[in-house]
Chains A and B, each alone.
Chain A
Amino acid sequence: MSSDSLGFYILRRILQAIPVTIGIVLLIFILLRLAPGDPAMVYLGEAGGASEETLKEVRKEFGLDKSLSEQLFIYGKKFLTGDFGFSYFQGKPVLDLILEKVGATALLVLTAMFIAVIIGILTGVKAAKHPNSLASAFITTFSLFGFAIPSFWLGIMLLLAFSLYIPLFPGYGMMTAGHAGNTVQVLIDILHHLVLPASTLGIILIGPYSRLSKTSMLEVIGSDYIRTARAKGLPEHKVIFKHALRNAILPILTMVGLQLGRLLAGAVLVETVFSWPGMGRLMFEGILRRDYPLIMGILFFSSIVVILVNLITDVLYSVLDPRIRRR
């Protein structure tokens, strides 16, 4: 394999991810040990009135009578094989709980990202072509507001306006309770519930994407091959959307990758506002009950998601622009 082949690049990126993963296990272990109280109790998640027997079981399972390094080894092995422990509150293994909820979060975040990227690119392209147009003003406004508005407050305001005062959309949960019907009806019901939470997250994200599209589009439009494309008489929309955008889209892709992972983890606030049954909501409930196995599991899982999404973005980028592999 030559040093700039795709396979070699993927392998190198995976190898880079290993120490980070081990670091996260170590961090979680240290945090759990630093937490005040009996470690067995901490592992149990302060499940009120845990029996002496359960405590003994946990002590044995995590080797709490052995040395610290042995404990770390046991703990690390558990985490790396996907055994995040047991949530005594929910009566289920943590991993099962997370996997149940991750789909809803992914649906919410991907939809919001999709809205933001599409609107961002369209306004960005428009503003790059006409710097003093309405599109430019739109970008400036959305950048400012997107930065300063607390997402949870925006969510509540949208809920107030479009669910309570003008009852257009449901503002609670992902499906109407007891709603039966065929697949299409259920799908429409879910989409109906998705509108407000996805718009909340989307509105916050539009600013950065439109600004980035504008700057990267401006850079590309000035280049020689765009002048050539125009000179050979291509219609303007072909020049913009086929030639220019294809090159201007790389920085946008990078940003999607960087943000997606963090958003999957950071949707806690919006999910809480709309009672969206995702990972964030699970995290919130875990925190309320001091369910430590659950919240540590979510911390680990979401960090791994960030690592994976970053990896995929880098690989995609290197497919679109092979020069990057040589770095």
Chain B
Amino acid sequence: MRRFFNNKVGVFGWVVFFLILLTTFFGPLFYPVNPFEIVGKRLLPPGSSFPLGTDYLGRDILAGIVHGAKTSFFVGIMAAALMMTIGILIGALSGYHAGFIDGVLMRVTEFFQVLPSLILAMVLVALFKPSQGCIILAISVSSWPVIARILRAEFMSLRERDFVTASKALGATNTRIIWRVILPNALPSMIVNATLAVGIAILFEAGLSFLGLGDPNVMSWGYMIGSSRIYIRQAWWTVTFPGLAIFLTVLSLSLIGDWLNDFLNPKTKGRRQG
């Protein structure tokens, strides 16, 4: 417990994260305004009737923030999960089997690393329907190689350890050694990376919806910024608040990632303190 509270910045990250999570689940109950509905005059400043003001159509910005949280988390978590699955599968197999399998899988990884991720995602969403499923797929397909490379490096060092040799001597199959013996030892770094991956995916989704490539049926922070940005001359609040929401969410995930890193690998100091 002391280790938990030692890191004040990490605690701050957790607090912000839980506040946003609470908003995601219970916000729509306490603030049941439809984010797509025109509820007042357009471009009203933040104040009494609308806490964060209204946008260029007269939609409630606070409602947009509250409902947009769900989109960010849903896409962020699903995309991160898919990204981690592909990355772990390829990274583990390639790091455990040296030689031919590693060669082939690494060429595939390099191929996906060469493709510019944002452009690829834009193409995918433009060619197919801009649904949440397609966005999740586009984000994870273009972002998994980093995870694969990190895990491959971990596997390459772990596979030479004594406990792996011992399992082999006991006759464990390759499948068992990969998933049951080595992977649990690489878990701490994968947990940290999964946290960061959620943040990266949230930013990615925000970028796509900013460009107008989001799912038009759900409210999204990126969409709020993209659609309102031509009105910033008259109304700074239409763009500022959704952006702050994205920033705080990703910041909290990043702080939690650092905290987890210190907590799970106490020997290495935080990533960012270098």
Contact = CB atoms under 8 A, between A and B. Distances in A.
A316 interface: no
Interface in B173-192: none
B225 A156 contact: yes
Contact of B123 (A153, A157, A215, A295): A295
Nearest to A207: B272
A273 B211 contact: no
Interface stretch (B34-42, B90-98, B233-241): B233-241
B234 to A, nearest CB: 10
Contact of B254 (A24, A147, A283): A147
A292 B203 contact: no
B247 A265 contact: no
B119 A156 contact: no
B119 A302 contact: yes
A200 interface: no
A218 B269 CA distance: 15
Nearest to A149: B247
A139 B270 CA distance: 13
Interface in B215-233: 222, 225-226, 229, 232-233
B81 interface: no
Interface stretch (B18-26, B46-54, B57-65, B106-114): B106-114
B118 A266 contact: yes
Contacts of B225: 150, 152-153, 156
Contact of B119 (A34, A152, A265): A265
A219 to B, nearest CB: 11
A35 B127 contact: yes
B114 A307 contact: yes
A143 interface: yes
A214 B272 CA distance: 11
Nearest to B116: A265
Interface string B107-139: 100110011111110111011100000000000
B207 A152 contact: yes
Contacts of B212: 287-288
Interface string A125-169: 001000000001001100111011111110011011000100000
B239 A24 contact: no
B211 A153 contact: no
B211 A24 contact: no
Nearest to B233: A164
A261 interface: yes
Contact of B243 (A156, A159, A287): A156
Contacts of A160: 232, 236, 239-240
Given A147-B199, A156-B232, A160-B236, A266 B116 contact: yes
B99 interface: no
Interface in A251-267: 261-262, 264-266
Contact of A283 (B111, B122, B233, B250): B122
A20 interface: yes
Contacts of B274: 127, 139, 211, 214-215, 218
A31 interface: yes
Contact of A265 (B111, B118, B206): B118
A292 B274 CA distance: 44
Given A19-B107, A36-B128, A159-B232, A306 B203 contact: no
Interface string A232-272: 00000000000000000000000000000110111011001
B114 A156 contact: no
B135 to A, nearest CB: 14
A298 B123 CA distance: 10
B155 interface: no
Contacts of B243: 150, 153, 156-157
B127 A34 contact: yes
Contacts of A20: 107, 110-111, 114
Contact of A157 (B119, B240, B250): B240
Contacts of A147: 199, 250, 254
Interface in A16-70: 19-20, 23-24, 27, 31-32, 34-36
Nearest to A141: B272
Contact of B117 (A153, A159, A214, A266): A266
B255 interface: yes
A299 B120 contact: yes
B151 interface: no
Interface in B4-37: none
A290 B126 contact: yes
Given A150-B243, A272-B211, A306-B114, A287 B236 contact: no
A20 B240 CA distance: 42
27 contacts: A19-B107, A20-B110, A27-B115, A35-B127, A35-B128, A136-B273, A144-B254, A150-B206, A150-B222, A150-B246, A150-B247, A153-B239, A153-B247, A156-B225, A156-B239, A156-B243, A164-B232, A214-B274, A261-B114, A262-B117, A266-B119, A269-B118, A269-B210, A287-B126, A292-B127, A299-B116, A303-B114
Interface of B: 107, 110-111, 114-120, 122-124, 126-128, 199, 203, 206-207, 210-213, 222, 225-226, 229, 232-233, 236, 239-240, 243, 246-247, 250-251, 254-255, 272-274
Given A144-B255, A150-B247, A152-B207, 16 more contacts: A20-B107, A20-B114, A24-B114, A34-B127, A127-B274, A140-B273, A149-B250, A150-B250, A266-B117, A268-B122, A269-B118, A295-B122, A296-B123, A298-B119, A303-B114, A303-B116
